Amino acid sequence: MILLATPAMGRRRFLFGGLAAAGGLLLPSPLALAQGALVATPRQTPGPFYPVQFPPDVDHDLVVLRGSAARAEGTVTHVMGRVLGLDGRPIAGATVEIWQCDARGRYLHPGDAGPRPRDTAFQGYGRTTSGPDGAYRFRTIRPVPYPGRTPHIHFVVTAPGRRELVTQMYVAGEPRNEGDGLYRSLRPAERQAVTVRLEPANGIEGGALAGTFDIVLA
């Protein structure tokens, strides 16, 4: 078993509301194939844009807001995976939260004073709960770059009896990855653990992308 020591990151408190069910189709994951030799998902800073006020809809589908016909700008992307322990066993009942900027590069946060108006159809934040097999999934948009950062999705995962994990997911093949200070701060095995290949979501949603991000809690 490989256990990588990770630097202690600043912790902050997160508040939770209602939980949505998770589950569904999973794509093959190299991580899943390497059970017994899992790398703990590395910790990363939450950054300054975790919501100070949650959107009216906090479910796992960030592309549409409940009660609205509008659809978020950007490429619809299904991010799915399992929450696992270092031993490869699934962790059920974990709360998985994500937040990311919209297709225009704006976060749902008053501290983000970017020049372009926010895409109000994008939920900006979502949460779900891992199922009995540890599975979770989100329907969101492909992350986009904003000044100083390569595309990424912020994650926080909490599970009973385990230390909260704050991390970020990156997109494989993104040319900006190598120039991103937070990405570069990771060792090769850690980078691999948070870098996800996005491919056409065949059989899930036409025109959409899909990728598998398994999350390993130490």
> Least Å distance between CB 100 and Fe ion?
7
At closest approach, how far in Å is the CB of 212 from Fe ion? Answer: 21
Going by C-alpha positions, the residue among 62, 69, 75, 60 that lies closest to residue 144 is 75
8 A C-beta contact, residue 19 and residue 202: no
Name the minimum Å distance from CB 144 to Fe ion. Answer: 11
Residues 45-64 that bind Fe ion (CB under 5 A): 47
Question: In the range 106-145, which residues lie near Fe ion by CB under 5 A?
Answer: none
Binding residue count for Fe ion, defined by CB under 5 A: 1
Residue nearest to Fe ion (CB): 47
Max CA-CA distance within the chain?
A: 48
Phi then psi for residue 77, to 5 deg, are -140, 125
Paired sense of beta strands 199-200 and 209-212, if any: antiparallel
DSSP 59-118: SSB-SB-TT---B-SS-EEEEEEEEEETTS-B-TT-EEEEE---TTS--SSTT---SSPP
Name the one range near Fe ion by CB under 5 A: 41-49, 58-66, 109-117, 207-215.
41-49
Q: Is 105 in the site for Fe ion (CB under 5 A)?
A: no
Report the alpha-carbon distance of residue 119 to residue 122 in Å, rounded.
6
Q: For the CB of residue 101, give the shortest distance to Fe ion in the complex, in Å.
A: 7
Q: How far is the CB of 54 from Fe ion (least distance, A)?
A: 17
Q: In this complex, which beta carbon is closest to Fe ion, that of residue 28 or of residue 115?
A: 115
Residue among 147 and 206 whose Cβ is closer to Fe ion: 147
Contact positions toward Fe ion, by CB under 5 A? 47
